[in-house]
Structure 1
Amino acid sequence: MRTHRHAAKAVTLQHQHDIKLVLDVRCQKTIERILLRTFPGFSVLGEEGVLGDQQAEHRWVVDPIDGTVNFAYGVPHSCVSVALQSRTIGLNSKGGNDSSGEYETLIGVVYDPFCDELWTAIRGQPARLNGTIIHVSERSKLRESIVSVGFAKYRHTLEQMLPVFHRLIHKVRKIRIMGAAALSMVYVASGRFDAYLESGIRLWDIAAGGLILECAGGEFWRRAMPGKHTYQIIANNGLLRRKLLARRSVGAEL
C-alpha cells in the first residue's frame, strides 16, 4: 500500500459511494494464498466470498484494504484487517460473532502502513499497539467525547445515519468521519476516540477491530441487519453506549 500510494489506481468496480481497486483484489489473493498455504485446513472469508473448506473449524476474515476510497484518492488513512475466528455455538451479539452466532473471534490484527502502527489482540489477553498495551479512554460524558461516524455505501444506510449524525453534533465534543472502519475501532481501543457508530458495515471491516476493542477494555455492540455479514454497530469505551441510547442521541436507527 505504501508502494502504490502515489501510483495511478486501476478501478474494477464503482458505486456512487464506494469503489473497488485492482490492488484490492491483488492484496486479497496474496493474503489468501499465504493463509491457506500456512493453514491448509482453514477457510478465508472476505468481500469476494469464502475460499477453502466452508465447513472448516477455523476461518480467517480479511479486508485487504479497509478505506479503499481514501487510498484511491491519496488520503493516507487506510489499513489491512485480518481476524481469526473459531466455529462455536450459542454466543450473543456482544461476543464477536457473525449473524448466525456460530463464530468467535480469537485473534485480531489491524495494520496502518502509512503510520506504521500495528494493533494486535488475542482473546483473553491485553490489546497492543506496536507491542505496548493499550486501553480505552475513561471519558464518560458525551460532551467531552470524540465520536467517529461511518457511512456505508447504500442509500438506506446513509439515510439511517444522517439523523444520527445530526443529533450527535449537538451532544459531543467532536464528530469525525474517517472512512476506514477498522481504524476507527482501534482508535477507540487506543483511547483516541470514545465511540464509533455505523449502520450497514460488513463483518470483514469489523471482526479484527472488534476483538482489539474488547481486549482493550471497550464494548463492541452490534446487531445483525438484512444481508449476510451485515451489521449496525456501536463500538465504544464501555461508558457511552447506554448514554447514547438513553438520550436518543442514536435513537431507533441504531
Structure 2
Amino acid sequence: MKELLATATAAAHAAGKLITENFGSELTVNEMQRHDIKLELDVRSQKLITDMILARFPDHAILGEEGGETGGNGDIEWIVDPIDGTVNYFFGIPHFCVSIAARKRESKELLIGVIFDPMQNETWTVIRGEKPHLNGKPIAVSNRAEMAEAVVTVGFSKSKEALDLGFERYKRIAYEVRKTRMLGSAALAMAYIATGRLDAYVEEQISLWDIAAGQLMVEMGGGKVMLKPSTTKPGTMFICASNGKLPIEEYL
C-alpha cells in the first residue's frame, strides 16, 4: 500500500502545481451549471493524475469526476477529484484541493487516501490500519462531545430538493453548535475533521470522488462516517461525518 500512497501523493502534488500555476488566470469554462462550474482545467488535472497512475499501474482502473472510468481491469480502482472546490477556484477563493483514493475493486474497501491543499501546502495522507498524517505528522479527530462546543460545516447541494433539506437541517444544527461554516470543499471538510479543526460535516447530495480519501482519513483518525443513498438524486449519497463523539445524528 505504500507504493499506492507514494504514487497518489506524487500525482496530487503534480496536479496541485498545475492548478496553482493557473489560479487567478483566465479560465476556460466547459460548462456553467446553475449551482456548479466545470472547467477545462478540471479535465487537464485529471488527465495528469490518470497518466501518472497508469504509468505506474497500467492495469488499474480510475474513476474520476471528469469522464467516468478509464484504465484497465485490475483489482485496484482509483477515485479522483482533480479539483474539489471548483467554484471556489473559479472565483479566486483559495480553498480547494486535489483528492485521490484507491480501493479494492470488488470489495470496495478503501486502502489509501491523499488530499492536497496547494494554497496552504498541506498534504493529508492515510493508509488503512494506520493513523492519518498531515505533512508527515500524525493527526486525530477532536475530543469535543457537546454540540455547544462544536464547529460544524453543512454543505448545500445542487438541486432544489437537496437545498430545501439542507436548509432545514442547517437550522436544526445551527441553533445547537458553537459555530457553523460553509467552506465549499467536501474533501477539505473531511480532512479538517480528521485534523480536529472541524467536528462534523453534513451534506444531502455528494459523490464518491468528493469524499473517498476523506472517509478513510476520518475513520482512521478515530471518527465516524455515515453514508446512505441520497433521496434527491440517484447515484449520489447523503453524508454525515464526525469525530464520532458528537450526537450529531439526533439533528439530521
Q: Distance in 2 between matches of 1:77 and 1:112?
A: 8
Q: Distance in 1 between matches of 2:244 and 2:90?
A: 34
User: How far did 1:180 drift?
Assistant: 0.2
Counterpart of 1:51 in structure 2 is 70
Q: Distance in 2 between matches of 1:160 and 1:216?
A: 29
Q: Distance in 2 between matches of 1:145 and 1:120?
A: 25
Counterpart of 1:185 in structure 2 is 190
Q: Distance in 1 between matches of 2:199 and 2:59?
A: 38
**Other structure's SS at 2:80 match:** strand
Q: Distance in 2 between matches of 1:169 and 1:70?
A: 23
Counterpart of 1:245 in structure 2 is 249
TM-score under structure 2 length normalisation: 0.89
User: How far did 1:211 drift?
Assistant: 0.4
TM-score under structure 1 length normalisation: 0.88
Q: Distance in 1 between matches of 2:100 and 2:234?
A: 21
Deviations 1:31-52 (A, max 9, x none): 1111111111100001221002
**Other structure's SS at 2:110 match:** strand
Q: Distance in 1 between matches of 2:112 and 2:249?
A: 29
Please show how residues 117-136 of structure 1 align to structure 2 within 5 Å: 117-136=122-141
Q: Distance in 2 between matches of 1:25 and 1:159?
A: 31
Q: Distance in 1 between matches of 2:109 and 2:159?
A: 27
Q: Distance in 2 between matches of 1:184 and 1:244?
A: 16
Counterpart of 1:17 in structure 2 is 35
Of the candidates 96, 108, 111, which is equivalent to residue 116 of structure 2? 111
Counterpart of 2:238 in structure 1 is 232
User: How far did 1:244 drift?
Assistant: 2.2
Residue identity in the other structure for 2:234: G
Residue identity in the other structure for 1:239: K
Deviations 1:125-160 (A, max 9, x none): 110000000010000000110001111212221121
Deviations 1:32-73 (A, max 9, x none): 1111111111000012210023x4311100000000000000
Q: Distance in 2 between matches of 1:193 and 1:15?
A: 29
Residue identity in the other structure for 2:56: T
User: How far did 1:206 drift?
Assistant: 0.3
Counterpart of 1:99 in structure 2 is none
Q: Distance in 1 between matches of 2:29 and 2:161?
A: 25
Q: Distance in 1 between matches of 2:24 and 2:229?
A: 37
Residue identity in the other structure for 1:103: K
Over the aligned positions, Cα root-mean-square deviation in angstroms equals 1.1
- Aligned positions, number: 231
Residue identity in the other structure for 1:136: V
- Quote the sequence identity (%): 44
Q: Distance in 1 between matches of 2:111 and 2:52?
A: 19
**Other structure's SS at 2:20 match:** coil
Counterpart of 1:156 in structure 2 is 161
**Other structure's SS at 1:6 match:** coil
Of the candidates 100, 106, 116, which is equivalent to residue 82 of structure 1? 100
